[in-house]
Structure 1
């Protein structure tokens, strides 16, 4: 493999490391779906270029150097021995094109996320974790495997300005202005789904959090994270990857 680090800017290399770390973390937490689903990030700079995983590598194999750089149409703009999954990039390109603030987009098919996406009432305010996505959660109805470009319009309309989305009968999606925030969003959304299914599995009556508390959760979230968002936990997550010799920085 060519020396990618020497061929790109320092800013792009940092984005590559962060995105590869996100892939490695998804694998570490058991949220991956073999080689399917994707995480993408916009390359810093004026060009609308993006990084996405090489199709065929497991998430715990993804490194900064192996990420593929493409344009909004999914065409490679830098030499790479790898290809990408065109169906996977359909969803990501739609969000990136519509949302300048969505520099990182995570889409996963976790068991718990897909299960909640199939529930008529979707995510419910049953835990503290659920309140953060519920303060700005959108839904998109299933239209089949994401190969139809016309679906992009409907998907971005459903997403609006939210950072959390449940794709019905499909999975979860989060976006943010950096990789750390997008990962934290996904961690919270995934955990909320896990807790909901555990609570529902008891068959006991459930207590929902009042809507007034849901409405005020964003101010509390800023206090908890000291306005740092995902950046507060990100260094610790990278240290966790270093302890297991994850390849993200290669």
Structure 2
């Protein structure tokens, strides 16, 4: 059954179970898959903690180790909130949107379109985060996009690409244009839509989203005082300098390892349960 047909089950009264009530998959999947499930479920809850949710309408995905030569990844079950996500609830699908496990859940076809495009094109896309926040959407609607108003924006500015709006991402043909627009960069502004980041690990993708979303938030706050004549935008040369100065934060094993353990401790204190 393809992703769009699965989504149709909602109209037929599809039951969406409590993720804490379903069977725990530890020991029933490979150790590598279980470890990735825990990391990804934690990432969902961290995004909820930071307010980067749109009820159940955005997605975070993670690539799994190849199985029998097949490329597969994990994505959220449609109808499960980010702050209640569990390792066992995540759905394993292939690059055609086919569900590759027994599960009571289905997936959002728009999530499959966007995330499969990035995972197929980029070997370094171990994790892909896509969100719809008010600040990210507000900047995505601006003709000039993200500006060099703040240090945080300059730390990601040179690594940010743009993709023009084509409607809700249900058409697989859009994948080619997403990939073309993304190129070799690690952050993508989906015009009139939202933001996307990728990284080899959940921690790196999360850290990039943290910088991008806070840069967008600061830009909207700064613009609230009036027009461009009231704001200082640093020149491209300064943007290049700050980007190079901050590059170490996104090197695998650097920034992600610096902040991820603390985030896991905070999650254990405030919203435990993602390891179910």
TM-score when normalising by structure 1: 0.96
2:101 and 2:191 mapped to 1: Cα distance?
34
SS in 1 for 2:102: coil
Equivalent residue runs for 1:63-82 within 5 Å? 63-82=86-105
**Aligned 8 A contact 2:164 2:190 in 1:** yes
Q: Tell me, which stretches of 5 or more residues in structure 2 are unaligned? A: 1-21
Query: In the alignment, which of 47, 56, 65 is matched to residue 44 of structure 1?
Result: 65
Q: Which range moves more in the overlay, 144-153 or 240-249?
A: 240-249
1:91 aligns with 114
SS in 1 for 2:26: helix
Question: What residue in structure 2 maps to residue 236 of structure 1?
Answer: 262
Offset of residue 148 of structure 1? 0.9
Could you tell me which runs of 5 or more consecutive residues in structure 1 were left unpaired when the two chains were aligned.
none
Q: Kindly indicate whether the alpha-carbon contact (under 8 Å) linking 1:60 and 1:247 is maintained by their aligned counterparts in 2.
A: no
| Equivalent in the alignment of 2:129 | 106
Provide the residue aligned with 1:20 in structure 2. 41
2:248 and 2:254 in contact (8 A); partners too: no
Q: Deviations for 1:83-139, whole angstroms, at most 9, x for unmatched residues? A: 111121100001111111111111100000000000111100000100122121100
Paired with 1:82 and 1:129, the residues of 2 have a C-alpha distance of: 38
* Structure 2 Cα separation of the partners of residues 233 and 45 of structure 1: 28
Q: Which moved more, 1:240-249 or 1:63-72?
A: 240-249
Once residues 219 and 124 of structure 1 are traced to their aligned partners in structure 2, the CA distance between those partners, rounded to angstroms, is 17
1:195 to 205, 218, 221: 218
Deviation of 1:225 (Å)? 7.0
Distance 1:249 1:224, change over 3 A: same
Counterpart residue number, 1:213: 238
Q: What is the TM-score with the length of structure 2 in the denominator?
A: 0.87
Give the alignment's Cα RMSD to 1 decimal.
1.5
Label 1:247 to 1:123 Cα distance change in 2 as closer, same or farther (>3 A).
Answer: same
- The one of 122, 131, 140 equivalent to 2:154 is 131
The higher radius of gyration belongs to: 2
Shift of 1:223: 4.7
Aligned partner of 1:180 among 183, 194, 203: 203
